Structure 1
Amino acid sequence: MTVIKSEFSLALNQVATERGISSDDVISSIEQAIIAAYKKEYSKEEEEIKAKVNQDTGEAKLFKDDKDITPPGFGRIAAQTAKQVILQKIREAEKKTVASHYLSQVGTLVKGRIIRYDGYSASIDIGKAEAILPKEEQMNNYKYQVNDSLIVYLKEISNDKFDNPRIIVSHSHPKLIEELFKREVPEIASGAIEIKKIVREPGERAKIAVASSQSGVDPVGACV
C-alpha cells in the first residue's frame, strides 16, 4: 500500500532541504498521525499499534504484536494524513524562519497594519509576519480599528504553550518614544544628544530628559 505516490521520497527530501526540517522528524510525525487516524476509524480500544512508513517509497503499514493489521483501503486515509503532517511541518518551519528574521529587529520600530482586533488584543501585519499587540501594550485612550496603520515597538519574540513563536509589539512602551526621536532628531541618532529618562503616560503626554555631550549643542532646542 502506498501512502503517497512515487514522488514521496523526492517531496520529503525537498521539504527537508528547503525548509530545514529533519526527514526523520517528518516520518515520525506521519507515523504517529497514521496511528491516530487508524484508531479513530477502526479501533476504539486502547491497544498498542505501531506504524512504519518506508522513507523511500512512502509505503505504510500498521502492526500489532508484530502482525500486519493494515486494513484494505486504508491507503487513502494514510495519504491524506501524511499530506496534512507535511503541510503542518512546513508551516511550523516557516513560522520559525520568519521569527528568526525579526529576532535581529527586537528593540526597534516596525510599521504595521491592524488586520484583526477583538477589543482586547490586536493582530498586526508587519510585512513577513503577523505580530500581536496585547492589551497591556496598548494606549488606553486610542481607538484601534482594523486597517489602521501603526508604528510599534518590537518588544520581544517568545514561544506560546505549543512552542510556536509569537512576535510581541508595543504601542505604549517608553522605548517607542526614544526610537521615534532617534529617527527625527539627527543629534540623538549620532549620539551628540543623549536621552536620559522618559516618563510617559501613553496617549496623554510624555516627558523626556535630554543632555548634550558636545559643547554648542542645545539639547532641548534640537528636540523641539
Structure 2
Amino acid sequence: MVLDLTAHIKDLHQSKGISEELIIKTIETAIKKAYEKYYGTTENLVIRNDNECVLSVFSKKEVTEDASDDLFEISIEEAKKINKESEIGDSMLVPCNPEEFGRIAIHSAKQIILQRLKEIEKNSLFSDLKAKQGELIIGYIQRVRNDAMYIDLGTYEGILPKKNQAPHENYQVGERIKSIVSDVKQTRQGAVSVVLSRTSPEFVKKLIEVEIPEIYDKTVQIFKIVREAGYRTKIAVFSNKEEIDPVGSCVGQKGARIQNVIKELEGEKIDVLKYSADPKIFIENALIPAKATKIIILDEARKKACAIVDDSQLSFAIGKKGLNIKLANRLTDWEIDIKTIEQAKEMNLIEDHFQKAEDLFKEKKTEIEELNLSSNIKELLLANSISTIQQLIELSAEDIKAIIGSNDEMTLELKEFIEENFEVVEEDETEEVTEDGQIQDGVIYYQCPNCGGNITEEESKCPKCGVEIAFEEEAGNEE
C-alpha cells in the first residue's frame, strides 16, 4: 500500500502550523493501531517513508510452498507474481491492501489521526505561546467579566485579571491596550490560558526597552526594578562605559524619554537612579527624591543601615504611606532606618558611627604629596622620610644627590622647583652686642642718657630730645 499524503500534510502544516514530521509520525501511529486491531499484531508490519510525504505499508512474509499462515507466509506462486526471482525460504515485503484492514479498523485509524492532530495543534499553540512569556504584546479589549478583561490578541485570547491591573487605570471595550504575557497555562483537557499583566516590573522594563535604545542594546543595563503599580517605580541602572551617563540616557532631555513610559503607566511616578556596588552610595541614590545627609552602616552582615536626613527631607525620604522607603528597601535589599539629624545626635549615631570613623581612618595627604612634582621624585622623598616643605628646603646638594641618585634630570627638576617656589634665607653670623647698645637690622643703637631714645654713632645729638652727644673711641690695648 502506497499513501501519497503530500497535499494533506502540506495543508495541515500551513493551516495549523504543525510540523510535517509530526504529522507523518501521527499517521504512522494510526496505521500501526489499525494494523494491530485487524491482525492482532504489528510484529511483521513495515512502514517506509522514502519520499517525505509518501508512505508505503508492507507485511513481512516468508515464501513457502503452500502458505499455511496468511499473516506470516506467502506461497511461492503468489510471491513470483510480486518478484519473479522469489524462492522458497526467502523473506519478502508484501504490500498491504488498505481494504484488508477492514472498515472498522480504517475508521479507527482516521479517528486516531484526527484526535492526535487536535492534541498536536493544542500543544503546538501552547509551545508557541509559552515562548512568548515575558514579551510585550498589544491587543484590544474584547469583553469584561468579573473585573477581568479578555483581550483579543489575534489568533488567541488573553485574560487580564483584576490583580494584574494597575489601580486608577480605566479601559473600555474595544480600546487598545499594552501588556506582557505573564503566564501560559494548559488544562488537562488541553485548553490554553494566556494570563496578561500590567503591574509587574517586567512590564516597565519592556516599555523602557522600546523607548530607550541604550537599554535595548545593553549600553545601559538595568540592575533592578521595584514597583508599587499605579503609584511609584524605582529603576536602578548602570553602564560599563565610563563616558555614558546611565540615568541621563534613560530620562532623556527634559525627561522626554521617560515621559512616554509614564504616560503609558497613567502618570505613575518613576525614579531612575544610578546603581553602585558601594552600599552607602546605592542607598543614598535609592532614597530619591529625598537627599540624605549621611548614610551609616549599622550592621553589614544583616544589611542594616541608617539614613540621616534634614527635617525638610524627612517626608520625602519616607514617602506617602511609607512607600518611598519601602521601595528603597526592596531595591537595595537593605533594611534602611530614616532619622533626622537631631534624632541621630540623640542616639549618638553620628559620633559613634561617622565622625569617629572619619577622623580615625580618613586618609590625609602629606605636604610633599601636594606639591607639583613628578610622582617618582615624590616617592623618593617620602621613602627617605621627607614629608614636609621645611624638610625639603633644608636639603643640601649632597642630600639631594643621596636621595635622587645619578638621575641628573630628576635632580635638576627638584633644584629648580625649590629655587622657583621657595626663598631660602641664610642667617648671618650673630653680631656681638655692646654693653651700651643693641642691634636692630644690623645697625647698632645706643641709648640717649637724657631721654633713653635710640642714637647711632653717626648722630651728634639725640633726635628725640635734642641733647648733644659725643662718642669717644677707647684706646686699643697694645700687645
- TM-score between the two structures when normalised by the length of structure 1: 0.60
Of 121, 146, 149, the residue aligned with 2:148 is 121
CA contact (8 A) 1:117 1:144 kept: no
Matched, 1:54 2:104: yes
What is residue 198 of structure 1 aligned with on the other side?
225
Structure 1 residue 118: Cα displacement: 1.0
Structure 1 residue 214: Cα displacement: 0.8
Structure 1 residue 103: Cα displacement: 2.4
- DSSP 3-state at the match of 1:103: helix
- DSSP 3-state at the match of 2:208: helix
Structure 1 residue 120: Cα displacement: 2.3
- DSSP 3-state at the match of 1:210: strand
CA distance in 1, matches of 2:122, 2:179: 20
Where do residues 50-89 of structure 1 align in structure 2 (5 Å cutoff)? 54-56=104-106, 58=107
The runs of 5 or more residues in structure 1 that have no matched partner are: 1-9, 28-52, 60-81
CA contact (8 A) 1:99 1:167 kept: no
Of 206, 226, 236, the residue aligned with 1:209 is 236
Structure 1 residue 91: Cα displacement: 5.9
What is residue 140 of structure 1 aligned with on the other side?
167
CA distance in 2, matches of 1:93, 1:204: 44
Where do residues 18-57 of structure 1 align in structure 2 (5 Å cutoff)? 18=12, 22=26, 54-56=104-106
What is residue 134 of structure 2 aligned with on the other side?
107
CA contact (8 A) 1:98 1:128 kept: no
CA distance in 1, matches of 2:236, 2:221: 9
One-letter identity of the residue aligned with 1:177:
V
CA contact (8 A) 2:126 2:186 kept: no
Task: Among all aligned residue pairs of Structure 1 and Structure 2, give the percentage whose two residues are the same amino acid.
Answer: 31
CA distance in 2, matches of 1:91, 1:130: 18
Matched, 1:185 2:212: yes
Q: C-alpha offsets along residues 148-192 of structure 1, whole Å, 9 cap, x if unaligned? A: 211111122112353322111111111010111111111111111
Matched, 1:131 2:131: no
Q: C-alpha offsets along residues 124-149 of structure 1, whole Å, 9 cap, x if unaligned? A: 11222111212221112212321121
CA contact (8 A) 2:224 2:236 kept: yes
CA distance in 1, matches of 2:158, 2:150: 6
- DSSP 3-state at the match of 1:168: strand
CA contact (8 A) 1:158 1:167 kept: yes
Of 154, 160, 172, the residue aligned with 2:187 is 160
What is residue 38 of structure 1 aligned with on the other side?
none
CA distance in 2, matches of 1:148, 1:93: 33
Of 178, 191, 194, the residue aligned with 1:151 is 178
Name the count of aligned residue pairs. 167
Matched, 1:97 2:110: no
CA distance in 1, matches of 2:240, 2:200: 26
- DSSP 3-state at the match of 2:233: strand
- DSSP 3-state at the match of 1:220: helix
CA distance in 1, matches of 2:180, 2:217: 20
Structure 1 residue 92: Cα displacement: 5.4
Which stretch has the larger CA shift, 170-179 or 151-160? 151-160
Q: C-alpha offsets along residues 35-70 of structure 1, whole Å, 9 cap, x if unaligned? A: xxxxxxxxxxxxxxxxxx7142x49xxxxxxxxxxx
CA distance in 2, matches of 1:99, 1:171: 22
- DSSP 3-state at the match of 2:125: helix
CA contact (8 A) 1:133 1:169 kept: yes
Larger RCO of the pair (alpha carbons < 8 Å, separation 6+): 1
CA contact (8 A) 2:123 2:190 kept: no
CA distance in 1, matches of 2:250, 2:133: 25
CA contact (8 A) 1:111 1:152 kept: yes
CA contact (8 A) 1:137 1:172 kept: yes
Is the alpha carbon distance of 1:195 and 1:122 closer, same or farther for their aligned partners in structure 2, counting shifts above 3 Å?
Answer: same
What is residue 99 of structure 2 aligned with on the other side?
none
The runs of 5 or more residues in structure 2 that have no matched partner are: 13-17, 34-102, 252-479
- Structure exhibiting the larger radius of gyration computed from Cα positions: 2
Which stretch has the larger CA shift, 180-189 or 153-162? 153-162
Is the alpha carbon distance of 1:218 and 1:97 closer, same or farther for their aligned partners in structure 2, counting shifts above 3 Å?
Answer: same
Q: C-alpha offsets along residues 94-122 of structure 1, whole Å, 9 cap, x if unaligned? A: 44332222222212111111112114222
What is residue 173 of structure 1 aligned with on the other side?
200
One-letter identity of the residue aligned with 1:142:
E
CA contact (8 A) 1:120 1:135 kept: yes
One-letter identity of the residue aligned with 2:104:
N
